[in-house]
Amino acid sequence: MRSFRRELGPLLGSTILDVLVGLGPDGELKYPAHPRDKRWNFPGVGEFQCYDKYMLSVLGACAQQVNQPSWGLRGPHDAGNYCVWPHQTGFFHQRGNWGTPYGKFFLQWYSDMLMQHADAVLGIAREVLLGPETPHTHYGYQPPYQRLQGNESGNVSGRGRGSSSDGEDHGGVVMMARAAGAGPGASPLSAPLPPAIRLHAKLPSLYWWYTDAHAPELTAGYYNTATRDGYMPIMHVLARNGVSVRLRGGELRGSELHTQAYCAPERQLAQQRTVAAALHVPVGLENLSERFDEGALSRLEAALFDTSVHQGIELPQVQSLVFNRMCDSMFEPGNWTRFKEFVRRVRNRAETLVVPGRGSLNGNSGVFGHPGCPSALNLPAAPAAGGQWLAEPSGGGKGGALQLA
């Protein structure tokens, strides 16, 4: 990350306004539990990733602390392999060992290790890219974690506080560049970085086997079950570090997916957005599939402008969309026509948006208390060179952007 800042420092805050911090496979925060090779295929539950010497030593130490040394010898013995279904295992089936004292201990430890990794990497990213004096209160974060907290009933309600620890893992960064009319000499490397830089982290869409255990989420590191909210810990980490979240799969519909795998992408996205709203973490969306049919584009548009109420929490306006990705099928005549119309519709709706109580399109105060943050999703009418839709500043601030990744 220091090399990234050293080489591209003059562009930060002028051309480069957003930085996606890579936290794991595909840039997402997750264990490599569902590798894209022949070891795993959909809709397998995946495998726990805890068998290297370092992970086993930490697991053993934690087991000793709870006076259960046998729990620290290895991961669950009955969790199956990458491609099995939940009912084929002793751990993930409806009354499986995920709900036993051992299962709860292991899943909590496994998830905590992932959260510690995220906190360490994002802390380094904040310090290196935003500067050591950057306060931990970006995006309306209000410590301590008083507003909403996950509980054993699966709701985001009540009071509580999250926890995370420092670590030593380092992650990569992927930049998103926008044409903002500034040249490479806009600021020297030694100058403090402007607060207009926005950091983002991407979460996976693990929407299949949405049964009691939520097996694919468990193997990926999210302790999310029918009785426990597994996204509250990572939203605490993002809020504390002033990082927005990018969520995937807004174009998916469970009824169109594997009929036997209990797919529920709509429920998962709603849960993630609700927890993000509870902790004032800004949300961006990214499509998961390369689809250009009207149904998928319409659902993605609906997700972008969804400000409905979930569990008593109103979802704030989505801040950005990254359309993934530019491929051969995009430029087929019918697909290209539908995609252009989709962009026009989204832009026209975005032009009329005002986020209630948090600034307007003509204000400079931004949203979530962060100067320069867009007050609403703001998209241009036509593609720029290279196939990217680049936003123009709105009212003196930096606009959101639809970018083809």
Residue 46 within any structural domain of the chain? no
- 294 vs 177 pLDDT, higher one: 294
So what's the pLDDT on residue 354? Answer: 61
Confidence tier at 355 by pLDDT (50, 70, 90): low
Give how far Cα 160 sits from Cα of 41, 106, 150, 314, 397, Å.
38, 22, 8, 20, 35
φ/ψ of 284, rounded to 5, equals -120, 155
Catalytic residue, from 7, 286, 314, 332: name it: 286
Same structural domain, 177 and 76 = no
Residue 40 within any structural domain of the chain? no
Same structural domain, 74 and 218 = no
The residue type of 80 is: G
Confidence tier at 134 by pLDDT (50, 70, 90): low
Lowest mean pLDDT among 63-67, 101-105, 195-199, 336-340: 195-199
Per-residue pLDDT averaged across 176-193, rounded? 39
Same structural domain, 382 and 252 = yes
Same structural domain, 82 and 120 = no
Same structural domain, 57 and 159 = no
Q: Which residues of 290-299 are buried (b: 16+ CB within 10 A; e: fewer)?
A: ebbeeebbeb
Q: What is the largest CA-CA distance in the chain?
A: 65
pLDDT in tens, 64-123: 999 999 999 999 999 999 999 999 999 999 999 999 999 999 999 999 999 999 999 999
What's the number of domains the chain is made of? 2
The pLDDT of residue 156 is above 70: no
Dist CA 405 CA 320 (whole Å): 13
So what's the pLDDT on residue 193? Answer: 42
The pLDDT of residue 151 is above 90: no
Instruction: Specify the DSSP element, H or E, that contains 102.
Output: helix 101-125
Dist CA 61 CA 48 (whole Å): 18
Question: Taking the chain, what is the end-to-end CA distance rounded to the nearest angstrom?
Answer: 21
Give the number of other CB atoms < 10 A from CB of residue 33. Answer: 23
Which of 102, 124, 93, 105 has the alpha carbon at shortest distance from 22?
A: 124
The residue type of 236 is: H
Same structural domain, 88 and 199 = no
Per-residue pLDDT averaged across 198-214, rounded? 96
Same structural domain, 121 and 104 = no
Domain containing 289 equals 2-34+114-404
So what's the pLDDT on residue 169? Answer: 37
Residue 272 within any structural domain of the chain? yes
The pLDDT of residue 142 is above 60: no
Contacts of 237 (CB under 8 A, 6+ apart): 115, 118, 119, 122, 162, 164, 243
So what's the pLDDT on residue 387? Answer: 41
So what's the pLDDT on residue 352? Answer: 83
Instruction: Specify the DSSP element, H or E, that contains 21.
Output: strand 16-21
- 113 vs 143 pLDDT, higher one: 113
Residue 240 within any structural domain of the chain? yes
Mean pLDDT over each residue of the chain, to the nearest integer: 79
So what's the pLDDT on residue 401? Answer: 39
Tokens 């992408």 sit on residue: 265
Cis peptide leading into residue 144 (ω within 30°) = yes
Dist CA 382 CA 139 (whole Å): 30
Question: Rounded to two decimals, what is the model's pTM?
Answer: 0.77
Q: Quote the strand ranges of 63-215, DSSP E.
A: 173-177, 198-202
Same structural domain, 180 and 252 = yes
Lowest mean pLDDT among 133-142, 212-221, 283-292: 133-142
Same structural domain, 250 and 154 = yes
Which of 236, 229, 245, 244 has the alpha carbon at shortest distance from 163?
A: 236
Residue 254 within any structural domain of the chain? yes
The pLDDT of residue 297 is above 50: yes
For residue 286, indicate whether it is catalytic.
yes
Same structural domain, 75 and 23 = no
Confidence tier at 14 by pLDDT (50, 70, 90): confident
Catalytic residue, from 7, 28, 152, 251: name it: 28
Same structural domain, 74 and 197 = no
Per-residue pLDDT averaged across 313-342, rounded? 93
Which of 346, 353, 351, 355 has the alpha carbon at shortest distance from 389?
A: 346
Dist CA 10 CA 67 (whole Å): 54
Domain end, chosen from 113, 128, 146, is at 113
Same structural domain, 306 and 178 = yes
Residue 28 within any structural domain of the chain? yes
Bridge-based pairing state of the strands 16-21 and 173-177: antiparallel
Confidence tier at 13 by pLDDT (50, 70, 90): confident
Per-residue pLDDT averaged across 309-323, rounded? 92
User: Is the Cα dihedral 381, 384, 387, 391 positive or negative?
Assistant: negative
Write the DSSP symbol of residue 126. I
Domain end, chosen from 63, 93, 113, is at 113
